[in-house]
C-alpha cells in the first residue's frame, strides 16, 4: 500500500513508551505485535532484549524505543508536512531523554493502540482495475463495500467487503492490481490473524 494516514508499528512492550510519539506525529493507528514476522527493522532493534528477558527470566530493561513511523503515502510530500513531522520527531526524542531541550506540549492522542493481528487485509481475488470506495482515515463498518476489482476482459467484478469495523489506514494507489495483491488495510479489534503479519 502506498496511500495512507500516519501510523506506527512497534513491539507490544513498547506501547507506553511510544504513546508520546504517536500523539506528536498525529498517528491514526498504532499497531502492536510482540513478533510480527518478516523481521522488520524496528523488531531487529528491540527483539534481542525481549529474547534476553525470556531466556533469563529477568526484567532486563529494553535498551531502545524502536518504532516504525509510516508518514502517510508516497504523494504526501511538502515543506509544511516535512517541517511538522520533523518537529514531532524531535519532540518525541526530547521526551524520551535523547535530546536535552524544553519538552513540547503533548496534543491529545488521535487513537488507541491495537494489535497488528487485528488488522484486516483486503486482497484482490482477481487481476483487474481497482475501484476504491473510501479514503485512508475513513471509518469502515462491517459489511461495507471497500473496493471492487473489475476484470476488463470478462467484465467480472470482485467485491471486497470489510468483515469487521475499523479504520482504513492504508490502501493501494495503483489502479490495476494483480490477483493476491493487498489493496486495503483496516485497523480494528476483531480480525485475529495468525502467522506472518506483515506484507500480507
Last residue of a domain, one of 31, 61, 95: 95
Task: Read off the pLDDT of residues 68-86 as tens digits, 9 standing for 90 and up.
Answer: 999 999 999 999 999 999 9
The separation between CA 66 and the C-alpha centre of its own chain, rounded to angstroms, equals 14
The count of structural domains within the chain is 2
Shared domain for 46 and 126, answered yes or no, is no
Task: Read off the pLDDT of residues 41-59 as tens digits, 9 standing for 90 and up.
Answer: 888 888 888 899 999 999 9
Tell me, what CATH number does 178's domain have?
2.40.50.100
Q: Is residue 199 part of a domain?
A: no
Q: Is residue 71 part of a domain?
A: yes
Reduced to 3 DSSP states, what percent helix, strand and coil does the chain have, rounded to the nearest 5? 25, 25, 50
Shared domain for 140 and 89, answered yes or no, is no
Q: Is residue 139 part of a domain?
A: yes
Q: Is residue 107 part of a domain?
A: no
| Torsion-angle region of 38 (φ positive above 0: left; ψ -120 to 50: alpha; else: beta) | left
Q: Is residue 90 part of a domain?
A: yes
Q: Is residue 111 part of a domain?
A: no
What does the pLDDT average to over 167-187?
Answer: 96
Q: Find the domain containing 121 and state its range.
A: 117-187
Q: Is residue 195 part of a domain?
A: no
Shared domain for 44 and 77, answered yes or no, is yes
Question: Distances in Å between the alpha carbon of 78 and those of 3, 83, 85, 87, 88?
Answer: 15, 9, 11, 14, 15
Task: Read off the pLDDT of residues 87-142 as tens digits, 9 standing for 90 and up.
Answer: 999 999 999 999 999 999 999 999 999 999 999 999 999 999 999 999 999 999 99
* Nearest Cα residue to 169 out of 126, 122, 104: 122
Shared domain for 123 and 172, answered yes or no, is yes
Q: How far apart are CA 81 and CA 117, in angstroms?
A: 30
Q: Is residue 196 part of a domain?
A: no
Amino acid at each position: 500500500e502506498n496511500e495512507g494516514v500516519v501510523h506506527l508499528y512497534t513491539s507490544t512492550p513498547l506501547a507506553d513508551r511510544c504513546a508520546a510519539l504517536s500523539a506528536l506525529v498525529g498517528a491514526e493507528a498504532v499497531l502492536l505485535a510482540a513478533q510480527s514476522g518478516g523481521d522488520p527493522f524496528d523488531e531487529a532493534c528491540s527483539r534481542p532484549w525481549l529474547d534476553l528477558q525470556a531466556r533469563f527470566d529477568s526484567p532486563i530493561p529494553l535498551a531502545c524505543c524502536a518504532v516504525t513511523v509510516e508518514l502517510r503515502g508516497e504523494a504526501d510530500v511538502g515543506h509544511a508536512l516535512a517541517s511538522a513531522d520533523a518537529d514531532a520527531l524531535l519532540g518525541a526524542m526530547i521526551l524520551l531523554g535523547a535530546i536535552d531541550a524544553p519538552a513540547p506540549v503533548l496534543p491529545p492522542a488521535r487513537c488507541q493502540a491495537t494489535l497488528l493481528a487485528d488488522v484486516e487485509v483486503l486482497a484482490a481475488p482477481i487481476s483487474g482495475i481497482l475501484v476504491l470506495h473510501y479514503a485512508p482515515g475513513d471509518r469502515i463498518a462491517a459489511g461495507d463495500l471497500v473496493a471492487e476489482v473489475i476484470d476488463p476482459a470478462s467484465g467480472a467484478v470482485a467485491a471486497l467487503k470489510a468483515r469487521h469495523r475499523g479504520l482504513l489506514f492504508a490502501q493501494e494507489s495503483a489502479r490495476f492490481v494483480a490477483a493476491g495483491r493487498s489493496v486495503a488495510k483496516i485497523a480494528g479489534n476483531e480480525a485475529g490473524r495468525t502467522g506472518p503479519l506483515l506484507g500480507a
